[in-house]
Structure 1
Amino acid sequence: MLRSKTSLILGLALAATAALTACGGGDDDIGDRIGVSKPTVRVMHAIPGGPNVDVLQNGVKTNLLNEPYKFVSTYFNVEEGNQLFAFNVANTSTELGKATVNTHTGHKYTVVAMPGSESAADVIQIDDPFEVGLFSDKARVRALNASFNAQNVDIYVTVPAADLNTITPTFSAVAFKSAVPASGQDSINLNGGTYRLRITTAGSKTVIFDSGALTLDNNADWLITTLPVDGIKATLPNRIKVLVARGNDESQAGLELVTQQ
């Protein structure tokens, strides 16, 4: 009986591996999907106009050095427990910001340096429990509002021709410095395909950002982050752009989107 169960689990794992490979894979594997993998972390430089940064973990420089705005790392393994991540101005000891991440087996974490002040960054963390079906090829999507000049927004991820007046937001009332779904909850699942990203002020149907057509791959892991176009010096309300962290992109460069209105 034990051999039969082991063979069944191995067979399912091999089948799931084949399915992931056929669908483009991503930054997840069988261990991630059954919740036994080490915790993993990715870091993101989301400070428009900010300096290049070095990333430190628990006070020690990582190999993520001199990274520019729009940089998104691949997910990397960490040990369970408290992990301190800091962003320093590249090649200096000047710290822009830091955050402690309490990591758990099977979870994925994103640590984002976002606009704070002219001399400092706000650093936030997002915990994704990553409860994904063994054979699922759906993309996972979450939104983050890092725009102090657009402090509550509704975000629509729709087929390109959708009429916003007839639908509810994909992510409702996303507050400044907040993620939806919230940290600790799973990202939402979407089928791969062609989409359009539109953003309005919360409760309004007046579009302040329109991406035009976008391709969302199967098994993608997107964090859609709103940012002030003019960085920390932004003065015009609702003048925003979007930086997308794409967890299935080998280059891992953040995809910056400007409005196509």
Structure 2
Amino acid sequence: MLRSKTLFLGLALAATAVLTACGGGDDGIDDRIGLSKPSVRVIHAVTGGPNVDVLQNGSLTSMVNKPYKFVSTYFNVETGNQLISFNAAGTQTELARSSLVAATGHKYTVVAVPGASAAETVTIDDPFGKGLLSNKARVRSLNASFNAQNIDIYVTLPAIDLNSVAPTFAAVGYKQASPASGQDSIDLDGNTTYRLRITPAGTKTVIFDSGALTLANNADWLITTIPSDGIAGLTPNKIKVLVARGDDESQAGLELVTTQ
């Protein structure tokens, strides 16, 4: 018993050294061993939408008057039922809401997305299953483009021919995450330059090309596609990408437009 405790302590101390060296983000030992309090972040991904106030269980939070591209840091919540809502800034007018049941060790992302006629929400449950000593980047996708309702997403080295590879995230439907909510993000090598390309599902016709992107060690990215023109954007397959970076404390998403 003593030996097992000593081994665990040694691993924990080693992990502490690794995580301290990495810096930034919300990626502590308690997160990696599944003992952290549940936490939530919110994202304003409604292109052209009004600034918003964020409410938790009906009470106004410190997140007020936040514009498009706002990505909050994770904040702890109690286990059990939680209601996250978005109001037009400075008003009682609710734009969208999401209910979730928070569980220990899980992280939740509530995204305000453009619907065909009004804002809607998508909630993603991330169990955050990551090894103590891993420095891999974690990546997940979300299709919030009602004008591109089934897409394939490729995250590859820049020179890769798409005809030679399968999609990283295949046939992602509108308002669907991949991997699905409740499953872990995928792991990719960090400290590496990638290229993000998107096609209509089942084709190799590129409708979005990011050019070169660098994914850092221990990065935690949510890649969200949205209509380029927001709620009014009905042109088929005209999209852009908002990247929420869990390893970045800037509270602003990285907006990408196609290089094509």
Is this a same-fold pair by TM over 0.5?
yes
Residue in 1 aligned with 2:236?
Answer: 237
User: Counterparts of 1:13 and 1:62 in 2: how far apart (Å)?
Assistant: 34
Task: Return closer, same or farther for 1:244/1:72 CA change in 2, 3 Å cut-off.
Answer: same
- In the alignment, which of 166, 169, 187 is matched to residue 167 of structure 2? 169
Q: Secondary structure at the match of 2:252?
A: coil
User: Counterparts of 2:22 and 2:60 in 1: how far apart (Å)?
Assistant: 35
Provide TM-score, normalisation by structure 2.
0.97
Kept after mapping to 1: 8 A contact 2:86/2:96: yes
Q: Secondary structure at the match of 2:111?
A: strand
User: Within 5 A, what are the aligned runs for 1:13-162?
Assistant: 13-118=12-117, 120-162=118-160
Percent of aligned pairs with the same residue?
73
> Which runs of 5 or more structure 2 residues have no equivalent in the other structure?
none
- CA drift of 1:25 comes to 4.9
Residue in 2 aligned with 1:179?
Answer: 177
- CA drift of 1:117 comes to 4.7
- AA aligned opposite 1:144: L
Residue in 1 aligned with 2:248?
Answer: 249
- AA aligned opposite 1:166: S
Q: Secondary structure at the match of 1:17?
A: helix
User: Counterparts of 1:161 and 1:167 in 2: how far apart (Å)?
Assistant: 12
- AA aligned opposite 1:10: L
- CA drift of 1:22 comes to 2.2
Kept after mapping to 2: 8 A contact 1:24/1:219: no
Provide TM-score, normalisation by structure 1.
0.96
- AA aligned opposite 2:71: V
User: Within 5 A, what are the aligned runs for 1:178-257?
Assistant: 178-192=176-190, 193-257=192-256
User: Cα RMSD over matched residues?
Assistant: 1.1
User: Counterparts of 2:151 and 2:115 in 1: how far apart (Å)?
Assistant: 19
User: Counterparts of 2:220 and 2:128 in 1: how far apart (Å)?
Assistant: 10
- AA aligned opposite 2:189: N
- Matched positions, count: 259
**1:207-246 CA-partner distances (Å, limit 9, x unpaired):** 0000000011111110000000010111210000000000
User: Within 5 A, what are the aligned runs for 1:2-17?
Assistant: 2=2, 4-17=3-16
Q: Secondary structure at the match of 2:71?
A: coil
Kept after mapping to 2: 8 A contact 1:108/1:127: yes
User: Counterparts of 1:204 and 1:5 in 2: how far apart (Å)?
Assistant: 52
> Which runs of 5 or more structure 1 residues have no equivalent in the other structure?
none
- CA drift of 1:20 comes to 1.6
- AA aligned opposite 2:215: L
Task: Return closer, same or farther for 1:43/1:79 CA change in 2, 3 Å cut-off.
Answer: same
After TM superposition, the runs of 4+ consecutive aligned structure 1 residues lying more than 6 A away are: none
- CA drift of 1:252 comes to 2.7
Q: Secondary structure at the match of 1:207?
A: coil
**1:47-72 CA-partner distances (Å, limit 9, x unpaired):** 00000000000000011110000000
- CA drift of 1:12 comes to 1.6
Single out whichever of 21-30 and 230-239 deviates more from structure 2. Answer: 21-30
**1:22-57 CA-partner distances (Å, limit 9, x unpaired):** 234531100000011100111000000000000000
